[in-house]
A and B are shown apart, each in its own frame.
Chain A
Amino acid sequence: MPGVYVRGMGLSCALGNDVESSVAALSGSVAAPAEVRLEQGAERVCVPFYRMPDHAELTDPARFARILSQVVCAAVAQAGLTYVEVSRLPVFVGSSCFSIGLSELEFETELNYAPEQAIPMPMCGYQDIANMARHAVGCDGETFTYNTACTSSANALLGAARMLQLGWYRHALVIGAELFNRTTLCGFAGLQLVADKLRPFDAGRNGIVLGEGVGAILLSSQPDGAAGLRLVGGASNCDTSSVTTANPDGGTVAAVLHTALRNAGMEPAAIQGIKAHGTATPSGDTAEARGLQKVFPKLPPVTVLKPYLGHTLGACGVIELILFGSALRRRFLPATPGFEIVDPDLGVHPLTRPEPARAGTYLLNYFGFGGNNTVLVLEHGAS
């Protein structure tokens, strides 16, 4: 895969309302997540949650479009495209939640005020994010909306990259979006996967902390000479051992790592560092660690970004690439807060302090429900 270039980025996540403030916060201390309380009948769900710092009510129905608009416009503006190029931009979206939060609000409002008219799932929202983004940037290109759980926007990046390389498009807007909604918070609470703190690969890891965020990347088959980031390969596979986690023997994780490296024309020894998925669930980190051990006789530096901003689920493919790539451009690999006690069964020791980053090739891992494993290969220093 000859690669496609990152020409523009926009971001809003718990770390900040733009790329610069968010990446700057990667070298600072980690804020504790807020606590969201949801009354579900007799049950009260209290879930730690990394929210975006926009000060609006989480349930403000205008919030989604406002944040999405700001983020996608920032990515497109940075790329410096012509009016015609923008008007034809295809939009690739990856999300787990889409506009389910808006659907929940509408159903609840109708139940309260016009129960005889209330229908569940009043909005079928797969297309909403793409439509909102097209409206915000003024484009009318084709849309591709990916829903593959936590790999959604990583797969959207891979799909866009492949179509750019075939010459179907010259540029593509790729979006990862995950916003507060009750379905996700209560769903994960019901699965008993939520912890008070993210401790990736730590002996005491006990689950995820959810977060929200919106990221956008303007991918292009043409370099602009500035961003210095190039997506040079990747792969995705399906692990059918369990619908909720990769096979703990690491076999399918190793397989997707090998395929991604082969796709990029790389050997494991060429990899300078790894952004692990690192959900901090006991089984998820075990599968990832064992997969990494099978592929890398000597592991390069490993880091996990989720302790800074929570697990942004379907959006993490785009958001973590923006954060990791931006850190590389600033020549550092972020530390992994929350990793303190080595788990002797894993053999993975994420960075406990930032380290200098060299130009070279890095892996970004993403794994999700539905057996989805995706690995992206990112080159830093491309001109």
Chain B
Amino acid sequence: MIRITSAAHYFQPLADGDSLPSLDDELKPLCRENFRRIDRFIQLALLGSGRCVAGQTLQPDCAIYLGSGLGPIGNNITTQEQLIRDREIPKPFNFINTLGSSAGFYVARNLGLSGQNIFISRRGESTAAVLSAALADLAAGNAHQALVGVVEEATFPLAAHRLRQGLAADMPVAEGSHWLLLQAGGDIGGELQLLRFDEFAGLQDYLTPRWCREDILCCGAEVSAECADILYHSLPDCVLPDPQQAFHDSQAAAWITEFVTSSDGGGNLYLVTGNETRGWALFHCNA
């Protein structure tokens, strides 16, 4: 059994004309060192992971699984501007921080961890991808504790940020850092299960008898509107995540961490991903 022993997140809606809020003051009490030459993406990872761990001592071999749709986009923009527009050689730390796993390195260093440090993306379904990888390692005994984070950075101007992602010009956008601490075994915390179904009917047959009033249903970005609609209308008093919430590429991570941190000890959240060809994956969190 895999348990969610801790969760935390940072979610910041942004508006045109704003600037990115400084994270320096929030990071100071969470960081063991004054990390220099880090970018916004790394700062977000340090902030979310630091809040999630919140003074707990982790197992030294706790593994880190970091997911993101866009990765360190701000640093990648800076690097590409240096290289293509300004015809300069990229600064060494800009170049090194283009790698998604650099953020995991600083999280590991900050928390004194030496387990594996994995970065995985699946654009709008990066939450499902990174949770799958962590759950596989926990289930197989390759890790006993896993710190799973999903980080999405936003950049100004927001018009360009939206254009890059193919979003409507008036879409509210956000940045976020959402983290779960998972443990194989034990009896503290809610459970997290991954179930797989070849057929949509199998998914429905699993969900329907278990469904409780005000459970939360989340559908991944690749789930068709038709399938999402069928599920929503077949489950009584189904609650959907707030549709007005500002967008980033990994909304599912925001929904899960919000559910875990705000739960008063009951209820379920179901995250559905998949399609008719590849089959269906269901992440079931109970608080």
- The residues of A with any CB-CB pair to B shorter than 8 Å are 1, 39-41, 43, 45, 87-88, 90, 96, 100, 103-104, 107-108, 111, 118-124, 126-127, 130, 140-149, 155, 159, 162-163, 165-166, 168, 182-183, 186-191, 235-240, 243-244, 252, 255, 263, 368-372
Contacts and interface: CB of A to CB of B under 8 A. Distances in A.
Interface stretch (B3-11, B130-138, B240-248): B130-138
B163 interface: yes
A255 B21 CA distance: 40
B92 A191 contact: yes
A183 B102 contact: no
A91 to B, nearest CB: 10
A166 B136 contact: yes
Contact of B101 (A87, A108, A188, A369): A369
Contacts of A118: 85
B73 interface: yes
Given A238-B64, A370-B104, 11 more contacts: A121-B164, A126-B121, A166-B140, A168-B136, A182-B84, A187-B92, A187-B98, A188-B95, A237-B114, A240-B112, A369-B102
B119 A186 contact: no
Contacts of A252: 114
B89 A146 contact: no
Given A183-B95, A189-B89, A372 B117 contact: yes
A368 B120 CA distance: 16
B105 interface: yes
30 contacts: A1-B140, A43-B89, A45-B89, A90-B278, A119-B160, A121-B77, A124-B69, A124-B70, A126-B70, A126-B123, A127-B121, A130-B122, A142-B129, A142-B281, A143-B122, A144-B132, A147-B100, A162-B140, A163-B132, A165-B140, A186-B83, A186-B89, A187-B95, A188-B95, A190-B89, A238-B104, A240-B112, A244-B96, A370-B117, A371-B109
Given A159-B136, A166-B140, A183-B79, A127 B85 contact: no
Given A121-B73, A162-B142, A143 B129 contact: yes
Majority SS of interface residues in chain A? mixed
Contacts of A145: 120-122, 129
A88 B277 contact: yes
B278 A236 contact: no
Nearest to B94: A187
Nearest to B101: A370
B275 interface: yes
A225 B196 CA distance: 29
Nearest to A255: B114
Contacts of A121: 73, 76-77, 80, 164
Contact of A371 (B86, B105, B137, B273): B105
B91 interface: yes
B88 interface: yes
A146 B118 contact: yes
A194 to B, nearest CB: 12
A151 to B, nearest CB: 8
Given A162-B140, A190-B95, A147 B83 contact: no
Nearest to A155: B118
B108 interface: yes
Contacts of A240: 105, 108-109, 112-114
What 7 pairs across the A-B complex have the smallest Cβ distances?
Answer: A187-B95, A41-B87, A370-B101, A238-B117, A126-B121, A147-B100, A240-B109
Given A146-B120, A147-B121, A162 B137 contact: yes
Interface residues of B, number: 65
Contact of A104 (B84, B89, B119): B84
B115 interface: yes
Contacts of A368: 101
B277 A140 contact: yes
Interface of B: 61, 64, 69-71, 73, 76-77, 79-81, 83-92, 95-96, 98-102, 104-106, 108-109, 112-123, 129, 132-133, 136-137, 139-140, 142, 160, 163-165, 196, 273-275, 277-279, 281
A147 B71 contact: yes
Contacts of A162: 136-137, 140, 142
Contacts of B100: 147-148
Contacts of B113: 238, 240
B56 to A, nearest CB: 18
A369 B140 contact: no
B99 A41 contact: no
A158 B61 CA distance: 17
B83 A183 contact: yes
Contact of B117 (A127, A130, A148, A187): A148
Contacts of A88: 277-279
Given A238-B104, A240-B114, A119 B92 contact: no
A41 B122 contact: no
Given A40-B88, A140-B278, A120 B69 contact: no
Contacts of A90: 278
A107 B82 CA distance: 12
Nearest to A244: B96
B140 to A, nearest CB: 5
Nearest to A191: B92
B283 to A, nearest CB: 13
A107 B84 CA distance: 8
Contacts of B69: 124, 126
B122 A142 contact: yes
Given A145-B121, A146-B120, A166-B139, A237 B115 contact: yes
Contacts of A263: 142
A108 B277 contact: no
Given A43-B89, A144-B132, A168-B136, A104 B108 contact: no
